[in-house]
Structure 1
């Protein structure tokens, strides 16, 4: 594509020239009517050629040409003008115009000539640029630092740059007689021939390694790339670019020789060895031990500097190391911190000295990793510290003693806890052994325990031991056998469980006394067991009365005798302290602590212990107490024992009260059901009658309700209601119950009655059942039938009246139209408009009466809410508005059948009055025993002052009856509707369905 700028002060000729030039598809033409503006445009440099008229205002074509030559150099310039004077042509050519084309004559020939001139000028310019570029490229090739060659398919060398000639020792005059085979070394012939065949076939050979030979036979190692020029499937020549890597190869060989020399010295040595250049710190060689300890690969470290790898963690230590070596002194055992590849720090000991390799100073180091040794030392210190902390802070006693051929030796270490448990000082214990602490029982068990310890190296047991206070304590003992400083040692851990065992024994005795009893008998057993355990004069269990000021004794044992019918005041007694603060014990002087308590004075009480009885909520409902006329001495675990027993007593009191309340509730329920005016049935899941009251018997015209037991309820259901009953039974079995429904039933005398029913899933005699309450609504149904008949007649009359009024309104509107068409008096137009408006309002009122009379005519029914919304939204254009319905399919509402019109009206209002609505969303959630149904859109919303007015009759842009009727339709079954949206963010209507008017499942 050739880009052309055409400048001419004739717009019509500009357009004509552009069309002719662009017809070929070879040109892209920009036009301008001013040479001055074109020169000022930065885009002028982007064009391939300029066409210019000669005679133009401001600047003529010759002046424009001069400016172009000055500013743009030799850009192709064609003068295209109607002036044919010879002097103009000469001036144009003298000032550097490429061609001159004269306007006029045959347009086709004229523009063909112009196209030819432009094409020729641009090609010439591009050719000049190409020649210049090739000359520069040839100059660059000649002066390149790499070896560049071009070879014919027969192997003759067509071109080689100066670097190639200098490296291989040839001159330019040698090239005509040289072939590729003359410069390839014998060692590389086979490899190079294989590479040459790949390149000749047009394949990529990748990086080529080769050995060239110079004129005098020396090896030149090279690496590079080569490709070929393929024309019509045949190779014309190959091109190659190679780098002289002889020095690098020689260096690698020298390094290889060096590695071989050093391999026998340190390569496989388990001690870490490194060889580092003393000049710049470059790692020359490392052995495998170094790689294992640091985690590096050889390629990652060889040739890199120590500082670059960060091998030394402490820069100051490294400087000290270098200074020592530079001072001519060897490093003998210097410790330094070294860093591995993963950042881990090792403590190392260096043995290093300077050495010359190939005349250059190097540092040869043998390195010993002290990390494990240091860790072992630190671990030993930590273990010693840990052992000391355990010995000093353990709650259990710890003793260590020697193991001699004759048995356990003396204690070599004990902690404070062991001294406290055994009631001996450290000095006393360290002069003893385990045998000195044995009881007679322990002496009998010792041989077997010793044998088990030697076999398993650990033994755990419980036994009695003598203490320094000449008492016997029960100890839990764990004994382990281990090596300490190379000697067999016994480590014993002891725990004093004397009190725990006493508590366990007491609890066992108490529980054994309570097993197999419930209710009042269980409370008596608890009192007897506590009395025997404590040895106290009195034990009692009392229940706090509802006034929370008095307590009633449920079981009491005083001086071995049962006391019944006793109660007492809590205020000022120890029991009040228990009720308020929990477990309480007063070993002595109770009378002095509670001087106002009459019972304390009368019984001469000195010791007291009490525990609260709590119900399942934690509330104190009673008191368990032990009372003594002498100072009270109990085990330290008395609180635990009494609280366990108190929990048992509280549970029994709760059970007794629950049984009493249940019995009372059953009596109330039976009296309520037996005397109810509504029928009550209890059915099993199959419909068999398990229970019926007298009202149910009367409703079915069966004398005694017992005659209904065992019969199936479907015997009394009219055929028209069978499906409804079966459906409601199925829902009740799934837990969907508590809603009102109506059926037609058959009596025993084949009579028909209407009943209103509500069902509930219950457990009856331990099995799932259904409780049904029935109310006879036969009279109400008859009255409603009569009311519906009267309403039907009124609606018929209303329909006839509306029909006649609508006919007259059509006549009236017809005459209004005639008057408007024939009226010549403009002053009457206003009156005619008012008459037409009044006629329209009358028609709206008539339409409202037709819609209003349908409200409440049909009985409310259960309807699927999601299906209602889907049906109401069928008329929505999917391309305009999206309807999102997320209401669960399981939700049903009990409402007037016209609820479908309510939902349609909400969608219709959003579409026609909501503004730019794109989405209408319906959702439903159950909250606070109500089902909240929302309808919201993303339109303009409702202004705050209109949120309630929109439900007024007559409000709005049309008749205003829609939302008013919607509220009345919903109100039939107690459903309410409100607008709760935010103005500017869309309308939001909330329909609140109360409990009983919706169901799920």
Structure 2
């Protein structure tokens, strides 16, 4: 895979890892390695090399940003791409700030997404490669620049100032670097103005300068002749020139000398012409000799000049002849070598030895014909290992040494490298933990590492060399044939397992990587490879398998639903019992669903807390607890759960027992007991339950009758509340009920806390109360009956006197309504007694009042209860009179009703007065008496002047305890300034006070929350006399709101995580659909794939809509300036938006801006030719009407309501449906009332107290 891009992809979603790997590797240029966690990826980076990293953001333990930081800290600037479904701005900023190369968001068309990912990977790698090339190129340039023997300078343009110079420049010019940089050649006197102008002119015309001769002036004033070559370059994105100078001062001097000698030769030429004739005669004689000599020298020259070895002649220790090979080896030029001392080009460590042997040879002493030394290169650094061979002779008539240098540097380097390699191999071979072996083709051991003897139990390697591995080392010799066959088939083996025999007879299990090795002729010479001991590993695997079989048997056959849970709550494994309990198959839940999916929403938070705390401290949370489980059909199961953490894994195992039948029975019993308690609590008779004379329960009628609270009665002796003279009677009755079951009733007197004794009739029976026998007594209060009996006699005595002297009419009648007796006062109305007697009372009553009168008469006659009836009669003159009749039943001796007696009181005057007050008082009285809230009124000092009876229910105080006290006495100390400020603002303000939520203190000390709604009370002159209002107990609502807010937060968190996971799954589905679409050739399959893709994209759209729903109502409504919520920045230039809603504030959801954005979008998208939009407001009754109007095509009559339906319209978004939903959160309504063809008109109605208008 040479040239492939090595990609490391990290994501906690296995399916996304696989589809991304498939897509990228299918392109044929990527080798993708995958990891499910950042920790594992860091480990892979420690042991492998990658060109680029692609990482998800949201991962457990370490997210993508944390992973990026760790990579930058430990592995430098490896290209890093963040590939995630999280599109939040802060994530992008964090990624870029921490060095991410690219940020790519998941989602959308998979083919386009993975194509973009591949492009980003290529781009990141190429950019990194380019950076490396630039860096490498810069290093090379720096090396050449600094070590070049030629002076080099870089000057800026257009001022020509030096940016950088090398050492050769400084040595040649004599300047220090600080004297040069930042100055031009003219400033330091290096170039004359004329020469600088010539150079500049040439550069401007040609764009470069090639070998232009220039005269320079060094620091000391000396002339330096040089040949300039200049090219344009770019330094730090600015133009510059690079100049290289070859110093030709010596050549210039030689040239001048040659010119002088030319003049001398011209002078001598005349003298030579005279001697020419004489020489010509001798020339013919010498010509033949010279020709022979020239031929010999030509052969010698060719031999020497083309010799790869260095050839030299040495006289007086100096080189007087040498070939080009020697010059190339030494680095000197031909001129520099001419006449140079040999000692000057020898390495200092060998100099004395070579000079000494040269002297000895010259003196005739015996020295080695060949020996080695190091030649020192001209750069003073490199040493070339030479072998020299010399002999003595004459050169130009004088003694000289002739010799040849042989370069043996590479040979010696290779020899040293071979020795080093052999030493390393020996160290590895002798210390390797695995076993290296080599055999011939017959299977005899030729070579084996010492670890082989240790593995097989032999004392040394010597016992194994020559050992027939096939016959004696295999547990089963036949395995050798299978091994050879497999090797022959593939040419090599990887992780091939064998069973070998230990010297003690035991089996040693090994894994081998083996291959053929070849002799120099290319023929197979044998087999070599590595053996690794896997005996312990295999034993562990077998033990693990046995353990897993045992675990699986227990797991599958336990009598309860059992699951294995990962640290992130994912169900790793489930048994059949859990399948039956949930109705979900293992395939659907294992490694896919969280076990919290099946937990009732009210129990999820507690379960998650247990799950998290258990991993920090297993004993910190209970191992056995109760929770509710919801199966696939929505049924709720009550379960006992036993959970424990599996050591060293982080996983936990849970057993779930369904106790729903038991729970159902308990609930039924509880409901039955509750019904009984309700009956007892509402029974008008007094009920008391006691055991051994100690009260266990009393109903409200009992405590009310006694004037005590329940806790003042329960737990006390029953005798405390009974008159002392009845104690013995009660004790005897208790004994008879328990011992003999006698349940006869009897009468006693009770002693209330206040007031007179109460006479009661007691009926009792033995019951089971809270699992033990007890007595339940039902006490009927007969005090009134007794008192009535006593008063009856007195009443009869007084009756006659009363009848005769009363202003009221006293009468009696039989059960048919016929008047039998009537007092003389009837004469006041024009009737005599005789005219009335024997007539029906109803004959005198106005017809409209008869039904009510007859109903009350019937009630008295049938129930015996007294009634008060008001009706109208006509006196003898025909005048209407209002009468109040207090009717009472007349009983015979047997208790039967035989008639009715009554007192008729003329209330005509009172009735007229009452009627004048009735309308005003009735409404207030009804409101106060029936209101579930506290009705209150305070004076300007904040003191209560009225408070309704509901204060006793809500705050525990009687009304009379509150009157005259300050309103602040009912609130905690910390809230008093807040309450006083709120009341003061209300008194000073002319606008209504919004509901005010304040904490209040109950009489028993606990706190509750009241919502105060108030209005001012003014007198006839318009002066403030106080405040009046309602106090609503919203404690439970507040708790519910807090609970809902917390639940919403948890739901939003779960929804966010779920949405992220679903989007990942959708990306996987779309990815595989893309692969299937490309691979499929069947049109039918293509249709199926298209339908699946369409449905998947629909799910993706629903997920995005769910995100919008999640934000609805997620925050408390607030007062918002209406003008600032209008989407003015999004109005195109072709449309005019006129607004007249300045100064209006609306109490609405924080997504109010989205409402007007969607209204603008509706006008632009569907108005077709809308060019003007008007936003205005007007009051309508107590409400405020906001109007959004455009001049587009309008809304057809049949669609005015449909446009607010979800999914209706030309687009797939939420549109107007979302508008109505947002407004409805705070009770605001919207409707469309425009005229089709003349534009759309939306009316938004804001309720009273949800808007305010600044003056």
Q: So what's the TM-score if we normalise by structure 2? A: 0.25
Q: So what's the TM-score if we normalise by structure 1? A: 0.31
